[in-house]
Chain A
């Protein structure tokens, strides 16, 4: 599989000269499978340029997999060109709710006064699914979701193909209520889907001195991200969901903090950046950009 980051900013799009290196678009990652299927992990503002690119290279089948419905993970959906192709088959997956169907929850955004077009009026053929907590086969991959601690119903996704696993946990506060250092691994939120991943894209929104005033907001400190990754025995960590207030230079300070926690393995930790690609195949893992 080949993953490409189209947006890795958290909370709010943050374009500008100070964020040009890592990008200002919010969460969106395209995963192309060997079978030609495409998984689009989240529908943040990075989905707009993805939609343009996808018109030139349409997938065999398109699955949009939403971790949750906060605006920074949904706002790009209304600007995703394949959505407006008459009859195009698009599958949309998202966290289940005991109260409202996924389509109804998404329609709260895709309807006036927040958006001019109603979800029911888009010309593509949309099929909605609850995020799969048991493994499902999509093309050449196996995909599974797991509920994780964030604000409101939220999942992470694990995508496996050819013996490699990519795990996407963009919004996650696993230390809420207790210390990650002390908790047994199986009691860590997200551990079950992240365990022994080849690549983990994980929330790294806050530096240590920032986290104290944001406990309960649903995001991780960089130290918690690294403890989580270590206890989950992942091979490579991609720091994701950059705080909108963090400039490129501040993100690089954050990366230094993260690498200090994995001495000798610094090359296995990097910052997500728009345009970055991650290839996972039988030969191993290759990251570029």
Chain B
């Protein structure tokens, strides 16, 4: 019996695939975000913090929908990207990998273009543990501050 908060609330127990994904993210220079099976943004690494302009510890666990709203994601042409259509949304709701070039607003007010890749984490018996999302900053386009 778990004595923790249920999934989808801050501080809820983390499954081993998510724990291992966090350890991987913590040791990478690539911005990486983790969403749990309840839809909470539960972690992003230092590289992502640098990109977003805010350390994860300052933001804490929040629903991924709120986080997505903060980012104000659009296509490079300025078309809004709905949460369900973002790479993380596709991975979460449709259980398949997705990739997209997006513009996003950072917490320091900048607006930058990224390639975003997301994929679902399935466990040994096919159970969904969450989503890994990776942002690749466009080297050629640079920042659009």
Q: Which chain A residues have a beta carbon within 8 Å of chain B's beta carbons?
A: 95-98, 130, 135, 142, 144, 146-149, 153, 160, 176-178, 184, 186-189, 191-192, 195-196
Picked from A96, A148, A153, A187, the residue with its CB within 8 Å of the CB of B22 is: A187
Chain B residue nearest in CB terms to A135: B1
The residue from A130, A135, A188 contacting B125, defined by CB atoms under 8 A apart:
A130
B137 within 8 A of A: no
* Smallest beta-carbon distance A191→chain B, Å: 7
Stretch from B8-16, B68-76, B100-108 forming part of the interface with A: B8-16
Cross-interface CB contact of A98 among B4, B11, B14, B124, cutoff 8 Å: B124
Q: A177-B24, A192-B13 are in contact. Are A187 and B19 (CB under 8 A)?
A: yes
The distance from the CB of A55 to the nearest CB of chain B, in whole angstroms, is: 34
A147 and chain B: residue at smallest CB distance: B16
Flag if A160 contacts B124 (CB, 8 Å): no
When the two chains form the complex, which single residue of B1, B4, B19, B124 contacts A95, counting CB atoms closer than 8 Å? B124
Count of B interface residues, CB-CB < 8 Å: 22
**From B14, B23, B26, B125, contact of A186 by CB (8 A):** B14
Q: A144-B1, A178-B26 are in contact. Are A186 and B124 (CB under 8 A)?
A: no
Report B's interface with A, CB cutoff 8 A.
Answer: 1-4, 11-16, 19-20, 22-24, 26-27, 43, 123-126
Give the residue of A97, A135, A153, A188 whose beta carbon is less than 8 angstroms from that of B19.
A188
Bound: A147/B17 CA distance, A? 9
Nearest-neighbor residue (CB-CB) of A192 within chain B: B13
Beyond the given A144-B1, A178-B27, please list 20 additional residue pairs across the A-B interface where CB-CB is below 8 A.
Answer: A96-B124, A97-B124, A98-B124, A98-B125, A147-B123, A149-B16, A149-B19, A177-B23, A177-B24, A177-B26, A178-B23, A178-B26, A186-B11, A187-B22, A189-B16, A192-B2, A192-B4, A192-B13, A192-B14, A195-B3
